[in-house]
Amino acid sequence: MTTNQQEMFGSLLLDKKIVTALTDMGFEEPSPIQEQTIPLVLDGYDVIGQAQTGTGKTAAFGIPLVQSITDHKHIQALIMTPTRELAIQVAEEVGKIGRTSRIKALPVYGGQPIERQIRALKSGVQIVIGTPGRLIDHINRNTIKLDHIKFLVLDEADEMLDMGFVDDMEEIMRNLPSERQTLLFSATMPRPILSLTKKYMKAPKNVTVSKEELTVPLIEQYYFETKDKVEGLCRLLDAEIDGKIIIFCRTKKGVDDLAIALASRGYMAEGLHGDLSQTQRDRVMKKFREGTADILIATDVAARGIDIDNITHVINFDIPQDPESYVHRIGRTGRAGNTGTAMTFITPREFRQLKLIERAANTKIMRRQLPTTANVVERQREIIVSRMQAVLELNHYHDYMPIAETLLSDEYAPEDVLAAALKLMQEGNKALEAPKEETLAKDLSNTGGRPGMVRFFMNIGRSQKITVQDIVRTIAIEADIPAKDIGKINIYDKFTFVEVPEDVAEKVLGVMHRNTVKGYKVNVEPARSRQ
């Protein structure tokens, strides 16, 4: 690999391409284990890292691996993990770190067809992450060759021991080139693991990161699982959240994007991150303290040193990377004997990280469903009633009496006048527009679907080995609708018809057109009416 221009990442001097990738991933500075481990690995040392999951250890070994290996199409690093879930997670993170460096990482594990993995291995990968059993299977088949291995990583070695993999681990280590670096990470160091370190590691350097005792204050904690976080957040803000709110995002770009998204929807939101000047930062904080903005969106680093009382809600728009960050974030609410609420948005793939946070912080984060549209409408009604009652109590509305008398003398019923006034108050000039017909768009109104359903045409079928399950699963996931709501599906050789409910038809069309089903790009369009 040609020498890349270097750039500082916190206290670390790394390839500029890697720093770019880390910035894109949301890293703002190295964690303690990264700061200690990366220089040792880059200097060629074997390393024993005693650290628990959630300390940032994947990047601690992933960054120096990506920087040290070449883009030649042979395997140069082997990473052993105890479970398929961890193998996939590590492969994803290492792949992101190596994205700008043309470094390819591949997970191999049991439960997936080995032929698929063999094909992927033949395409040329530099880093393989796998469970011990499946790695041995590939080694015996000669589909994973050990000749060029420069690095071996044992991730969560104590867990591999507990799962009975110690013999498999040793078998792999025996067959690796002696001229290699070995990195071992383990939360504990039981005797068999210590034995492996003495037998197969060369003068290893020890890195120990002791996790601080995490205590969670008395805060109500919930999580929401959703694919559309912005929509979910807006529903929460509209249906139940009132007060001073801090929302945490992983990246500076995420802060900017969310601030724009909320501001465009009428929320008083301000963003805070490291790219702001001190003057800009002071202006944002002044707005938040004085109440001209009631939502502060920030990164972890930018939020350091912020000390504001009366924070009612902390929202993790992006799940934090480690349990310490979670505890520090949510600790900004519920101070001085006040109650507080913490809410976290996750995607299905982030559920494991949520459980890690629960275990490390010894807390319980309860699952909740997002408010429905009906909940939002009901909350808006309650707010209107409360505000109107407050105005009536103040008894300072007499300047408007002549208008009320004029409208009432025009033979309008009092309840009609009041409802019209409320509509004007809530909607402004929009209230003066003629209502649109509450019907589907013309091209969705006559598709030959059953009553209450819209029928779509898709340009894939049996020729692509598409099944009903493929169609249902893809639409349900992409459109975020229950699978049971999807109606009749007719699959032919080269095309498919599928029915979906009218109220989600436009959403389904929007997310599915030009999307993929089972790897095939599809065109989706309203079907023609059956004559």
- pLDDT tens for each residue of 321-369: 778 788 888 888 876 556 789 999 998 878 888 888 888 778 889 999 8
Q: Mind listing the pLDDT tens digit for each residue in 66-92?
A: 999 987 889 999 999 988 878 888 999
Hey, is 339 helix, strand or coil? Answer: coil
Q: Which long-range contacts (CB under 8 A, 24 or more apart) does 374-378 make?
A: 375/235, 375/239, 375/240, 376/235, 376/238, 376/239, 378/239
**What's the rounded mean pLDDT across residues 219-232?**
90
Structure token digits, residue 388 = 């109107």
Q: Are residues 200 and 231 in the same domain?
A: no
Q: Mind listing the pLDDT tens digit for each residue in 86-143?
A: 888 899 999 999 988 888 999 999 878 889 899 999 988 999 999 999 999 999 999 9
β-strand partners of 153: 79, 183
Instruction: Give the global pTM.
Output: 0.53
Indicate if the alpha-carbon torsion angle 381, 341, 285, 270 is positive or negative: negative
| CATH number of the domain encompassing residue 489 | 3.30.70.330
| CATH number of the domain encompassing residue 352 | 3.40.50.300
* Distance (Å) of CA 39 to CA 42, 52, 97: 5, 20, 17
Q: Mind listing the pLDDT tens digit for each residue in 458-480?
A: 999 998 999 998 899 889 888 88
Matching residue, tokens 């109590």: 393
- Residue 437 in this model has a pLDDT that exceeds 60: no
- Residue 499 in this model has a pLDDT that exceeds 70: yes
- The pLDDT score that the predictor gives to residue 501 is 92
- Residue 442 in this model has a pLDDT that exceeds 80: no
Q: Are residues 75 and 203 in the same domain?
A: yes
Look at residue 215 and tell me if it is in a domain. Answer: no
Q: Which domain holds residue 158?
A: 6-208
E strand or H helix at 62: helix 57-68
Cβ(521)–Cβ(515) below 8 Å: yes
Domain end point (choices 317, 335, 367)? 367
- Residue 303 in this model has a pLDDT that exceeds 80: no
Look at residue 531 and tell me if it is in a domain. Answer: no
For the chain, state the CA radius of gyration.
29
Distance between CA atoms of residues 296 and 269, nearest Å: 6
Q: Are residues 78 and 115 in the same domain?
A: yes
Matching residue, tokens 């013309």: 442
* Distance (Å) of CA 518 to CA 229, 459, 468, 469, 515: 25, 13, 12, 11, 10
- Residue 55 in this model has a pLDDT that exceeds 70: no
Three-state SS annotation for 451-492: CCEEEEEECCCHHHCCCHHHHHHHHHHHHCCCHHHCCCEEEC
Look at residue 110 and tell me if it is in a domain. Answer: yes
- What is the per-residue burial (b if ≥16 Cβ within 10 Å, else e) of 382-415? eeeeeeeeeeeeeeeeeeeeeeeeebeeeeeeee
Cβ(288)–Cβ(246) below 8 Å: no
Cβ(220)–Cβ(341) below 8 Å: yes
End-to-end CA distance of the chain: 65
Give the range among 216-220, 343-347, 485-489 with minimum mean pLDDT: 216-220
Q: Are residues 22 and 145 in the same domain?
A: yes
* Distance (Å) of CA 140 to CA 71, 134, 149, 312, 465: 25, 10, 16, 58, 33
Q: Are residues 130 and 251 in the same domain?
A: no
* Distance (Å) of CA 207 to CA 54, 94, 182: 16, 21, 14
Q: Are residues 410 and 446 in the same domain?
A: no
Look at residue 92 and tell me if it is in a domain. Answer: yes
